[in-house]
A and B are shown apart, each in its own frame.
Chain A
Amino acid sequence: MSSAPVASTDVVIGRSRRPLPIVTLLRATGPVGIASAVVIAAATFIAAFGWLLAPYDANLTNLTNTFVGPTGGHLLGFDVQGRDVLSRLLAGAWTSMLGPLAVVGICITVGTVLAVTAAWRRGATDAVVSSGLDVLFAFPAILLAVLAAAVFGAGLLAASIAIAIAYTPYVARVLRGAALRERSRPYVAALEVQGASATTICLRHLVPNIMPLIVAQATILFGYAMVDLAAISYLGLGVQPPNANWGVMIAENQSGILEGTTLPALSAGIAIVVVVVAFNLLGERLFENTRKGR
């Protein structure tokens, strides 16, 4: 009981002296990492407020404007149904970023729980978890998402869950290795001797210690999830038109390419590539830092 106030001052001191852990992580990634983080922050902002920033109604069709090129008020021209491309691009950021966020949220949470449980219990639990994950390796993400669409119908939710399931073994394999290394370190044994419960040790000490690796994984996987989900939406099995989405925009406007109108499809493609490059570069640097720190 007497230790409670000490612990709380400790937290206050720690907060006043050290910057937030996420800031420390970002600072260590160097100029490329910080630039990528800025791009990601901008994309997140557009995802949240894009529909407010959009100069026109993203769903306002006017077939007389079909594939009309850029004009004064319409910087990127019009799409297949005569809608303003820039507005659709801004409004489409929401579904394009939300899906990957859901995928990463699910697969990182489930993967971490499985990995830490397997590494902590070892023995039979580890064997069951590991062989269960080995079976999941047999399913490529896109195939699982197409299967999900066949069973549950096309939609962003089913596709996101399917892709999250397909990614989970990759998350769990990497984190299990890291958790096993942590498990065998002296501080864990010391805490066990002091009588700390397994849950406390895992949640308060083990998971925070592998957090940089978890963050690096989440960053890399966000990029992958964005590519896979955009592909599913491009195939017509994810976000359904007329909802704006970058993958859907490419599918809708592909017919314009053969007629020489490249901007509607190309701008959505560029949006995807820019965001994915940012996540890849930042993720790679975060990974390198976890290797250095080890």
Chain B
Amino acid sequence: MLIASLLVASFVIFGAMYLAPGNPISALSGGRSLPPDSIRVLEARYHLNDPFFTQYWYWLTGALHGNLGISIVLRENVSTLIASRIWTTAGLVLYASLLILVAGIGLGVLAGLRPGILDTSALVVSAISAAIPAFVAAIVLIIVFAVKLGWLPAFGNGAGLLDEIKHFTLPAVALAISSMAIVARVTRASVREESVREHVQTAISRGLPRRHVIRRHVLRNAAIPITTVSGITIASLIAVAAVVEVAFGLNGLGAYLVQSAQSKDLAVVQGISLVLVTAFVLVNVAVDVLYSLLDPRVALGTRAQ
């Protein structure tokens, strides 16, 4: 299923670019007219006269060997260009995921176990936060923490570990904020649901320590919906990272993808799309594996609803 998904996805990505209007020769030459000899050389080098499926095969086998073609704008290997930017995106997504898992689940459990004023205010705040798009969060964070307070930088990647963490903090928060709210809401709801169930009430009435009941009976059962929603939201960060990278001027894959889409640098668009789709599918597979570990009733390949 994983391989089939990726194969079809790669086919769609390649097919879309193949259908793109415009002559590849003029794209390669930058619009200048070339002598027939050079056209013939280019056609041979890029297999332009081969049938569609042959071209797809060349591209796919090349991609599997790490060869994604050449950027027509920067005249460099796409894989080199991707490799120099991939860690920015990976770091950003990991940082944001960490925030979602720690703060989102933490706040959700807290609100779920303690009904009252904290819980009510958490519900209101999370309902609004869940609706804040990453780029709106970005401008609000820049206004408050970069311009008004001057605590954190609003632009660029930074150099050195500490400086990088500083530069990535606002982007990661912007990226995480709506997912954090969604995860917190689902966590709260499932903790609340589990804590009134019979086996939990029985455990409490038997006099088991509260900590033990929460860990073994409430959280263990609530973990399944929490994993579902965390997995879905974390996977979605991979694409949304593009927006945050543009907002904060980070030199990542997503920002480069947008730039290449604007300049019609199709080899780069293909390459980055392939990398992002692969990452997206792999995260989903990882979540599926996690399910079968959490809930032995779930067989691999099926998803708990």
Binding site for B on A (CB under 8 A): 134-135, 137-143, 146-152, 154, 177, 223, 227, 230-231, 234-237, 247, 250, 254, 257-258, 260, 262, 265-266, 269, 272-273, 276-277, 280-281
| CB pairs A–B below 8 angstroms (27 shown) | A138-B280, A139-B277, A140-B235, A142-B240, A142-B242, A142-B243, A143-B273, A146-B257, A146-B261, A147-B16, A149-B262, A150-B261, A151-B17, A151-B21, A230-B133, A234-B243, A235-B258, A236-B258, A250-B139, A258-B146, A266-B140, A269-B140, A272-B133, A273-B128, A277-B128, A277-B131, A280-B130
Q: Which residue of A lies closest to B280 (CB)?
A: A140
Q: How many residues of B contact A (CB 8 A)?
A: 53
Query: Given the complex, which residues of B lie within 8 Å of A147, measured CB to CB?
Result: 13, 16, 261, 269, 273
Task: Identify B139's interface contact among A148, A154, A257, A281, CB under 8 A.
Answer: A257
The answer to whether A149 touches B139, judged by C-beta atoms less than 8 angstroms apart, is: no
Q: Which residue of B lies closest to A260 (CB)?
A: B147
Q: Which of B92-128 contact A (CB under 8 A)?
A: 127-128
Q: Which of B1-9, B30-38, B39-47, B163-171 contacts A (4 or more CB under 8 A)?
A: B1-9
The answer to whether A143 touches B277, judged by C-beta atoms less than 8 angstroms apart, is: yes
The answer to whether A138 touches B17, judged by C-beta atoms less than 8 angstroms apart, is: no
| Complexed CA–CA distance, A45 and B1 (Å) | 46
Query: Given the complex, which residues of A lie within 8 Å of B1, measured CB to CB?
Result: 134
State the Cβ distance, A174 to closest chain B Cβ, in Å. 10
Task: Identify B134's interface contact among A146, A149, A231, CB under 8 A.
Answer: A231
Task: Identify B9's interface contact among A139, A236, A265, A272, CB under 8 A.
Answer: A139
Q: Which residue of B lies closest to A227 (CB)?
A: B133
Query: Given the complex, which residues of A lie within 8 Å of B264, measured CB to CB?
Result: 150
Query: Given the complex, which residues of B lie within 8 Å of A266, measured CB to CB?
Result: 139-140, 143
Query: Given the complex, which residues of B lie within 8 Å of A230, measured CB to CB?
Result: 133, 135
The answer to whether B280 touches A277, judged by C-beta atoms less than 8 angstroms apart, is: no
Query: Given the complex, which residues of B lie within 8 Å of A262, measured CB to CB?
Result: 139, 143, 147
A138-B280, A147-B13, A231-B240 in contact; A237/B143 too (CB < 8 A)? no
Query: Given the complex, which residues of A lie within 8 Å of B12, measured CB to CB?
Result: 139
| Complexed CA–CA distance, A272 and B262 (Å) | 25
Q: Which residue of B lies closest to A162 (CB)?
A: B16
Task: Identify A150's interface contact among B5, B242, B269, CB under 8 A.
Answer: B269
State the Cβ distance, A236 to closest chain B Cβ, in Å. 6
Q: Which residue of B lies closest to A231 (CB)?
A: B243
Query: Given the complex, which residues of A lie within 8 Å of B143, measured CB to CB?
Result: 257, 262, 266
Q: A134-B5, A138-B280, A277-B131 given. 10 additional CB < 8 A pairs?
A: A140-B276, A142-B239, A143-B276, A146-B261, A146-B273, A147-B273, A148-B16, A150-B261, A230-B135, A231-B135
